[in-house]
Homo-oligomer: A and B are copies of this chain.
Amino acid sequence: MSIKSAPISIATNLRSRRQRLAEIIDFPAILWSGTASSRNFPANLYSFRSSSHFLYFAGLPLENAAIRLEDGKLQLFMDDAVPGSALWHGEMPTREDFAQLIGADAAFPLAELRSHSTEAATIAVQNPTTYQEQAEVLNRPIAPANAPHSIDLELARAIITLRLTHDATALAELRQAATCTVQAHKAGMQATPNAKLEAEVRAAMEGVIIAHNMTFAYSSIVTVHGEVLHNNQYHHALLADALLLADVGAETENGWASDVTRTWPVSGKFSPTQRDLYDVVLAAHDACIEKVRPGVEYQDVHFLAASVIAQGLADLGILRGKVADLVEMDAHALFFPHGVGHLLGLDVHDMEDLGDLAGYEAGKTRSDRFGLGFLRLNRPLKAGMLVTIEPGFYQVPAILNDPALRSKYQDVVDWERLAQFSDVRGIRIEDDVLVTESGSEVLTADLPTKAEEIEQLVQS
């Protein structure tokens, strides 16, 4: 972790966050950062990623640290570097240095955490070493697989209340991540004409993120098989008639994410069929962003995407029937099987470590309707929320060849017409959209979405 990356105002901002927490809960909370995981032997570690809840209140990705929050006060628990570590890792700031930087009210060695743990709530860190340590210190079962209850649930709800909308410091970081991601996508488009493999375009995109000293908010998707939603293979050749779908997002040093998808033609020119379907997805994308404003139910944004896609596919002769009926029977989900987006913040699916506690308003639960079950956000929008808007069109063999689905939708799909669009495997267009008082602001607006502009970037 780099002490130099901390903004000057970090302590002030963190104090305000914990004071807001103190207005909601009246018991202490301890948040652990976690520890780096070993890859293939103890000295070879995966790059450390701090728990997001810790990051939110501690501001810096301190490794193997904990903070105790109570009444707006922060106590930092971490050990100083062991003697001899300077040779391998350089001189590290001391616990006191870090404590001052983040405005801690006190700082202690880790060994003293247990004696400060009485009646404290926590949230399980993903790393097993850490959640086992949490369980030991707090003397009760703690694991990410367990739904939080009692004070842990209260703490989770309080943190969700805070993290659902972003303060100015968070927004500054989120804008940095978005700006870097926009550059990465432009680099990917520009690298395509000279690339032979998906991996080469991925390299151009990730290279931009690495050069900005950022990391990846999630495993990049750079694929000519866009119909595989979370495709992490990069070995396919870039055939001239293919569409390349790239879902790549930067994460700042302090952990704030972006999440952007574009789909472009390898050749630099959409075929007529590709262009037709691209414009359907783009129409859904634009309509959804237009709809984003405080008070709107995010599920209605999802259904708007469904309607625009159903309408577009009907206009192209792929679907048959009235749009309202098609959406009612989930016919759009044959081609748009996922949700229209999710919360974005410190996590690319923000706070998804808490299951649906953050994504779903109290009283709402996941639907079992085809397609709708994958909707990750179902709350009324509020100013300060950051969401993705990411409609798509896919030809997924596992869906379109499913006998039950084919039979159910036999009459509403013109399968022969659909076959004419065989050069489209997957299209997704995704931007990061901030809900503002008056509507919305697209943080990634500098990255074109219009087909002609995309073509120009690929050809440039």
Contacts and interface: CB of A to CB of B under 8 A. Distances in A.
A9 interface: no
B347 A40 contact: yes
Interface stretch (A122-130, A238-246, A317-325, A448-456): A122-130
A86 interface: yes
Interface stretch (A152-160, A225-233, A406-414, A429-437): A225-233
Interface centre among A208, A398, A399 (most CB of B within 10 A): A398
Interface string A50-63: 01100000000000
B41 A228 contact: no
Contacts of A40: 49, 51-52, 126, 346-347, 353
Interface stretch (A71-79, A211-219, A298-306): A211-219
A45 B219 contact: yes
Interface stretch (A23-31, A98-106, A107-115, A194-202): A194-202
Contacts of A39: 49, 126
Interface residues of A, number: 67
- Identical chains bound together, number: 2
Interface stretch (A87-95, A269-277, A415-423): A87-95
Contact of A43 (B52, B86, B132, B352): B352
A337 B87 contact: yes
Contacts of A88: 228-230
A216 B282 CA distance: 37
A5 interface: yes
Interface of A: 2, 4-5, 37-47, 49, 51-52, 84, 86-91, 126-129, 132, 144, 197, 199-200, 202-204, 206-213, 218-219, 225, 228-235, 337, 346-349, 351-353, 396-399
Please provide the 6 A-B residue pairs with the shortest distance between their CB atoms, ordered closest to farther: A203-B211, A86-B398, A90-B228, A128-B128, A207-B207, A203-B210
